[in-house]
Structures are given as C-alpha cells and as structure tokens.
Amino acid sequence: MNLARTFLLWTVPTALALAAPPAFEVGPSVALRRQGDQATVDVKGLDPADLSRLAAVDWDGRRWAKLFAVSVEGQGPGQPPVLGSYRVEAGVLRFEPRFPFVPGLRYRAVFQPDLLPGHEGTGPAAEPVAVEFALPKPVSVVPTVVRQVYPSRSTLPENQLKFYLHFNAPMSQGDVYDFIHLLDADGKEIDGAFLKLDQELWDRDGLRLTLLIDPGRIKRDVGPREGFGPVLEAGKTYTLLIDARWPDAEGRPLKGPYRKTFRTTSADATCPDIKTWRVRPPVAGSVAPLIVEAPEPLDHALFSRLVRVQGPDGRDVPGRVNVADEETRWSFTPDRPWQGGTYQLAVDTTLEDLAGNNLRHPFELDVFEPVGRRIEARVVNRPFEVRPAGS
C-alpha cells in the first residue's frame, strides 16, 4: 500500500509532464550584465504579463527601489539605495546606475516578487531574490615608482629638515621606515636619521609622504644631537635610498629602487624675506603667468599652498600655481584675463625654506637671544601692478 502511494507520487507528475507545461517554474533571478564599460543589474525570468504591467507603471525612484533595490554591501540597514533608472527591455527588468559601479566595491541587489503590480496580497508570500556582486578591479599595467623627491636640488644645507616623497600610485602605510634609508658616502646607513612617527605624514590620496629628519639632531644643544651627533654635516655626500621592496597599496613592490644623492653645505639660519623676491607682473588683458623668483629654494609643498594672489577688490584670484626651478620659481596663471590695477601677493608667514626657517623666525630659535627680524602677522603682502601693454 505504501509502495503504491509512493509510486503514484513520483509517476503522476511525470505523466502530466508529457501532456502539459512543467508544474514548477524556476522563477525570477537577478544577474549582473556587463557590456563594454557599462554594467546593469537585470531581473530575468519574469512572466510576460508582469513585464507588461511594469512597462506601464509611472513610479518614482523610491517606489522602484521597494521592488528592486541595489545598495552597497556592508553599510548596514537604513542606507539609501544606489541611484539609477529602471526600464523593461529585452524581456528583463533592468536597473542602470546613475554613476558606474565602483570596481572592487561589493553591492547587493534584492528583488521583491510580492511587490510586482497585481501581486500585492495575493497568494503565498514569495521569498526575496538577492545576489551580491562586485566588478573586478582593473589590472594595473603601470608599475608604481617614486615620481619625484623634493627638494629637487642636489645641494642642501646641513640642517635640511624634510623630504617629500611623491609616488605615481597610492602606497602601503604603517611601516614606511623599513624601506627608507639615508646612506653616507661609503654606503653605510645612518641610524636614527628620521623622526619615526606613529601617525605617518601622508596626503589624503596616499601619494605623498612627508619625511622629517629628526629635529633633535638638527637643533644645537639638544639631547639627541649631543648624544648621537648631527644627521648631516657640511661638505659631505649622502644618498636617500627608497627600497624597491616597499609595496604599493595593492601589495606590488616598486618597479625599482630610487636614489637621491646630494651634497651638504653650511647650515642655513636666515629667515626667508619676501622683499628679496623678484616679482614679474603680467600684462593686463592676458592670461600670462605672474612670475615670482626667490633667491633661495623654499619648501615645495608650502610654496605651492601658502602664496595667494588678491585682486584690486581684495578677493583671491582663482587660478593655477606651479613651482619650478628647484623650488625657487613660483608662477600663477589666472582662470580669467588679468584686469589692470594693484594686486597683492599674500604670503602666509609659516612659509619655510629647506631648513624650516619661516618668515616669522628661524627654525633654531633661542628664546633667550634677541631676534633681529621678527614678524607677528599671519600674512604679509607684496603689492604689484598689472598694467596694459606698453604702459
């Protein structure tokens, strides 16, 4: 008896299958579709009648997202869905993001069959259809290298304070001092040359590292210098070595080592003075650059950021800055043609030279000794005139 019932349970559907469509359908599925550089998320396997009803609805984005939502995975509940558009085409319900999906970022797409037009509240509840996906990160074909080290010149003062290491791709962080070495003329590493900070001095993109020589071995009559001696000494040759084993943010080592060899001169204890700068004004009506030439190299990052141009109305003039000629030449190209009038070169007094001397006071300041020139203002100005050609 039991054997007969079991037989019927298995054979009746088989017999029906010979004369009618299958009793069970696969149902809708969600899949990522890529075509060239574009990617969409499709709901496949919908009934043609459901597709027709969807094509006729006039829903806003919020209503569409209740039916079919794509969101960034791992952001927790309550996060808004990815913005985009919905349409019915090629027999599927298609979601196209307003902005391309970010390679490497994981997304989650959820389709709610119960919310299809005409299905609300009818029949047994259907399970949501969900899928997670991520576009692969593009394979980098450009090897990571040290693009530039500042200061760019090959002669530096013995009280040189910092270096800027620029890379062409984001670098790994956390143990940078394992891959940076300062060598003497014999190739021997100088121990304790750099100030090792727990919070490394990276820019927000991970492309530039600020590297400080230990200030305690620069300032005179300070413990580290008295105990270990100065890092750099005048008249000697050194090499800053960047190890090729240093991995970038993707774990790939540098293309090769980088070496910057330089010779040191006597210490620089003199503050920069904008009165000594040569200012070459442009001609009114042109977009020619304003040129400023300093008699000594200045800190590359600060020179790029702490000098501004103010127009006759006192407002900052928008434009582009470039620092060149071993950090002695600053140029400014305006977004719009120059108007005639009196302009101001506004310079923040924290601008430094290579030894860390700023416009206010020298780096090695003894508070008990008088200072010949001391500036208290936050910003100092240098006026210049923009005149028509031939005037």
Mean pLDDT of 44-48: 94
285: alpha, beta or left? (left if phi > 0; alpha if psi -120 to 50)? left
Residue 26 token pair: 């696969």
Residues present in the chain in total: 391
Residues 332 and 354 in one domain: yes
Indicate whether 229 and 334 sit together in one domain: no
* Cβ-contact 42, 131 below 8 angstroms: no
Per the CB < 8 A criterion, the answer to whether 141 and 152 are in contact is no
Dump the DSSP string for 162-212: EEEEEESS-B--S-GGGSEEEE-TTS-B-TT-B---SS-EE-TTS-EEEEE
The residue type of 297 is P
Render pLDDT for 70-95 as a digit per residue (tens, 0 to 9): 998 876 666 789 999 999 999 999 99
Of 184-188, 224-228, 266-270, the poorest mean pLDDT is in: 224-228
22 inside domain: no
Model confidence band, residue 367 (pLDDT cutoffs 50, 70, 90): very low
pLDDT at 364 over 90: no
pLDDT at 74: 73
Query: 156 and 244 share a domain?
Result: yes
Contact 83, 71 (CB under 8 A): no
CB 144 within 8 A of CB 255: yes
Question: What's 275's DSSP letter?
Answer: G
Q: Structural domain tally of the chain? A: 3
At 125 the pLDDT is 76
Same domain, 301 and 232: no
Domain contains 141 = no
Task: State the DSSP H helix or E strand holding residue 15, giving kind and residue range, or none if neither.
Answer: helix 2-19
Locus of tokens 């127009």: 311
9 pLDDT band, cuts 50/70/90, is very low
Average pLDDT value for residue range 281-293:
97
Could you tell me if 129 and 162 lie in one domain?
A: no
Lowest mean pLDDT among 120-134, 173-187, 259-273: 120-134
Phi and psi for 303 in degrees, rounded to 5?
A: -60, -35
Nearest to 80 by CA among 95, 89, 70, 90: 70
What pLDDT band is residue 365 in, cutting at 50, 70 and 90?
low
Alpha-carbon dihedral sign for residues 192, 363, 274, 344: positive
Domain that holds residue 304: 278-386
Domain edge (last residue) among 205, 231, 265 = 265
286 and 380 co-located in one domain:
yes
- Per-residue pLDDT at 331 exceeds 60: yes
Residues 199 and 92 reside in one and the same domain: no
* Alpha-carbon gap, residue 162 to 213, rounded angstroms: 6
Q: With pLDDT > 90 as the criterion, what percentage of the chain qualifies? A: 74
Place of tokens 């359908």: 25
| Phi then psi dihedrals of residue 56, to 5 deg | -95, -10
Residue 165 sits in the same domain as residue 100: no
Tell me how far apart the alpha carbons of residues 345 and 359 are, in angstroms, rounded to a whole number: 14
Is residue 24 pLDDT above 80, yes or no?
A: no
CATH number at residue 195: 2.60.40.1220
**Does the residue 100 lie in any domain?**
yes
Q: How far apart are CA 42 and CA 19, in angstroms?
A: 32
| pLDDT at res. 209 | 98
| 1, pLDDT greater than 70 | no
H helix or E strand, kind and range, residue 303: helix 300-305
What Å distances lie between residue 286 and 193, 356, 386, CA to CA? 48, 36, 10
Residue 14: how many other CB atoms lie within 10 Å: 8
What is the identity of the amino acid at 348? D
Report the distance separating Cα 360 and Cα 377, nearest Å: 8
The pLDDT score that the predictor gives to residue 73 is: 84
When pLDDT is averaged across residues 165-180 and rounded to a whole number, the result is: 96
Highest mean pLDDT among 18-27, 36-45, 369-378: 36-45
305 with 336, same domain? yes
Q: What is the pTM of this model?
A: 0.63
- What is the chain's mean pLDDT, rounded? 87
pLDDT tens digit string along 203-259? 999 999 999 999 888 877 666 666 678 999 999 999 999 999 999 999 999 999 999
Report the pLDDT value the prediction gives residue 11, as an integer from 0 to 100: 31
Same domain, residue pair 62 and 162:
no
Percent of the chain with pLDDT over 70: 86
Q: How confident is the model at residue 37 (pLDDT cuts 50, 70, 90)?
A: confident
Say whether 75 sits in a helix, a strand or coil: coil
Decide: 51 and 43 in contact? Cβ < 8 Å: no
Give per-residue pLDDT as tens, 122-137: 667 788 999 999 998 8
Tokens at 32, concatenated = 């990522």
Placement of tokens 């709901």 in the chain: 43
